[in-house]
Amino acid sequence: MAPGGGILIPTRLPLLLTHEGVLLPGSTVRFTVGSARNMQLVSQRLLKGTSLKSTIIGVLPNSRDPEHDSDDLPALHGIGTAGIAVQVVGSNWPKPHYTLLISGLCRFRVSSLLKERPFVLAEVEQLDKLEQYTTPATEGVSADDGELRELSKKFYQASLQLLGMLDVSIPVVAKFRRLLDSLPRETLPDVVASMIHTSNKEKLQVLDAVSLEERFKKALPMLTRQIDGLKLLQKTRKTSPDNEKRVLSVRKGGAFPGRQFNLDEEDEDEDGDDTTVLERKVRAANMPEAALKVCLKELKRLKKLPQSMPEYALTRNYLDLMVELPWSKSTKDCLDIRAARTLLDNDHYAMDKLKRRVLEYLAVRQLKTSLKGPILCFVGPPGVGKTSVGRSIARTLGREFHRIALGGVCDQSDIRGHRRTYVGSMPGRIINGLKTVGVNNPVFLLDEVDKLGKSLQGDPAAALLEVLDPEQNHSFTDHYLNVAFDLSQVLFIATANTTATIPPALLDRMEVLQVPGYTQEEKVEIAHRHLIPNQLEQHGLTPQQLLIPQDTTQDIISRHTREAGVRSLERKIGAVCRAVAVKVAEGHPSIKTDTLIPAGPVEPEDKVIPPEMPIVIDHIALKDILGPPLFEMEVSERFTLPGVALGLAWTPLGGEIMFVEASRMEGEGQLTLTGQLGDVMKESAHLAISWLRANAKTYQLTNMVGAPDPLEGTDIHLHFPAGAVTKDGPSAGITIVACLASLFSGRLVRSDVAMTGEITLRGLVLPVGGIKDKVLAAYRAGVKCVILPKRNEKDLEELPANIRANLDFVTAGNLDEVLNAAFDGGFQRTAGPPAAPQLTSKL
């Protein structure tokens, strides 16, 4: 029997060592355990039994944090509380641990330790009666002890006084009232001390009070302090439910064993302030009905979750994101077309097609306010200003701007987000971007959309199909949100270097605007309007200190850079600015930091004469700064022997000139191709050989010994410098024909002619792409005449007027016209078969 009679607890108890929190008899406390000993106790004793309530364990305060568990056992508190685990929850986040909800039964004293591993097992002595905490009773303290009866009565009256000062509608206060009505008075010190706001040190004092009289004396000052504090609070301001909740301990638990108390409702009460504020934010977010319904459902679930569970943080993060999203927030567009035209012209030189498209959007936006955002795709070589013009469009419209870099993205979750069932899930870049800008109608720049990857995690290009479809993106569903979000007001601008690597389905959803490279004249204007002032500012110089004339700028463009954009040009101008900054800094008097007089003789310092301002950069100074020219006009020097022709190629970096070289030697009629050629280019070479052999008699083409078949007893080697660059495409067809015709006839191709075009086996010339970039490359190389397919004549209208004026264009429909234009004096041919008579319809 227990002291005073009653039910006995086991004399051997497994001990749960706790560092934070004190369990008193009659109270329920939630403990989080993660030490090795405590984890072993839970797994071997609590989880292996048939019922949690059938296993009684001892909860003993520990003087050392059990998370820093070691082999040696710390000094244990002498008195603990026996209890049963009402609930056990395991989790692996952020590290493996168990959360136990334990109800205290009675006190015990540790007599001796039986074992320390894998968990602590001790022989204990029961100190309290078990029934007084588990069975309701109405009788009070025995009348034998007058002082104890007086303490009990005083404590009970103080508890009633505290209850009278609180709002009974609050769940934890209602629970306090029920306990006062149902429990014996000798249990009140433990129960009240566990519910009011007290420190662990004070709870330990109550726990150590074995005699009932001492227990009342320890707990009564705590209760009196709470009443005095509440009285003072009522004097300063009217008591609110929030203040009353602060008076009672807002600890998890506080339930009474044997009673049916809803612990989840008490946890709701703990976080009532946060969830109430969050609910107000959810209702004020002005989100659609479907999203509001989901948020309220998640909010209701959040109120029932304890904060220690990982799902609580995940749900809270989800609701915070839903509140922060701009469901109905937008910026007002600036629709002044004149101001927009001025701003675009100030920010960017040339780019007339892009500017015209933006002004068209503004004009239509004035006439129709509910216009969906267009989906544009700027395609062009690097350095031509695709990204910066997107930023200027946002400034012109008065909208927020957000850039999303898609280069190398190979996971569709980057676009659509992760489902919330995964650990570490997060929304995609589209939703994150909207959260960042805070409005639902920004300008989104999808940079490098042609460099998307594909992996086992899905195809991000396929995920973009919904984002970039005006008929679907009004209900874009991110996997993390799992509710529709309207993207129809977002202005999407994608950038790419080429459309070849963009999937056709994605390309079909975008309005493609070509952004070709700049001419030399345009580069000079851009340099003096934007690049030079910007570099002067970045290097701390002024126009009064540095002057770069236009002829020097032209020299940098033509001899030190060869690109479609202006990035290399900007770097070269930066190098000039750094060199001038050194001269300017050397001319300034230095500040002496050492004022001591030297002991030895003082030699006169060399005085640096400040340079005359401004420092003008001429061709001599440019060579000293940038070194010898990197590019020379070498076109005419390559045409010294037959078998050389100049072609034009398109690359994602812009247009390039391409030499084709051929030689022949005695052999067996084999064709050798070098220069890292693709299959299409190899086929073009075989087509050219076949056409020239078929027309050898017409054009008087012979082999090395004068035979009519150019390949009889002859091997042909066709080479395309530079050999380290991969080449492919059909546009070198007419160049290969001209090169081989020069080899077989012994005549030189004109050194000022460049050409591009696809050929057929019948000698027709078919159209090719990238005409503007190719013509600009020819113009940069000093070419005077360009041969193009006849069906590409329409593309010449996109060229600047000065380019059309300085170049001669020959449009050819067949290879005969190509050969006549590529050789001085034309290409001789024998009289062909008589022309077929012209037939006239008699209908």
506 Cβ neighbours under 8 A, 6+ residues apart: 449, 461, 462, 464, 465, 468
Token look-up 């998307």 returns: 452
Token look-up 């007419």 returns: 734
663 Cβ neighbours under 8 A, 6+ residues apart: 643, 716, 717, 719, 743
Q: How distant is the alpha carbon of residue 455 from its chain centre?
A: 18
Q: Which two tokens stand for residue 775?
A: 């013509």
Q: Are strands 443-447 and 79-91 parallel, antiparallel or unpaired?
A: unpaired
The stretches of 443-566 forming alpha helices (DSSP H) are 460-467, 504-508, 520-526, 532-538, 550-555
d(CA 4, CA 24): 19
Residue type, 684: S
d(CA 38, CA 97): 9
d(CA 311, CA 292): 20
27 contacts 195 by C-beta, under 8 angstroms? yes
Q: Which of 194, 731, 742, 745 is catalytic?
A: 731
d(CA 109, CA 81): 9
The stretches of 532-643 forming alpha helices (DSSP H) are 532-538, 550-555, 567-587, 619-626, 635-638
d(CA 747, CA 819): 11
390 contacts 401 by C-beta, under 8 angstroms? yes
Torsion angle of alpha carbons 448, 454, 458, 460, nearest 10°?
10
Give the 3-state secondary structure of 9-69.
CCCEEEEEEECCCCCCCCCEEEEEECCHHHHHHHHHHHCCCCCHHHCEEEEEEECCCHHHC
Cis peptide before 94 (omega within 30 of 0): yes
Phi-psi bin for 444: left (phi > 0), alpha (psi -120 to 50), beta? beta
Residue type, 719: H
Q: Which two tokens stand for residue 588?
A: 């300034």
Q: Which of 218, 245, 772, 774 is catalytic?
A: 774
106 forms bridges with which residues in the sheet?
82
Nearest CA among 561, 576, 748, 548 for reference residue 645: 748
Torsion angle of alpha carbons 167, 169, 170, 172, nearest 10°?
100
81 contacts 104 by C-beta, under 8 angstroms? yes
Q: Are strands 546-547 and 443-447 parallel, antiparallel or unpaired?
A: unpaired
Q: E-strand spans in 49-129?
A: 56-61, 79-91, 97-115, 120-126
Cα distances (Å, whole numbers) of residue 538 to 531, 532, 543, 578, 617? 11, 10, 13, 10, 18
772 is catalytic: no
774 is catalytic: yes
Q: Which residue numbers are catalytic? A: 731, 774
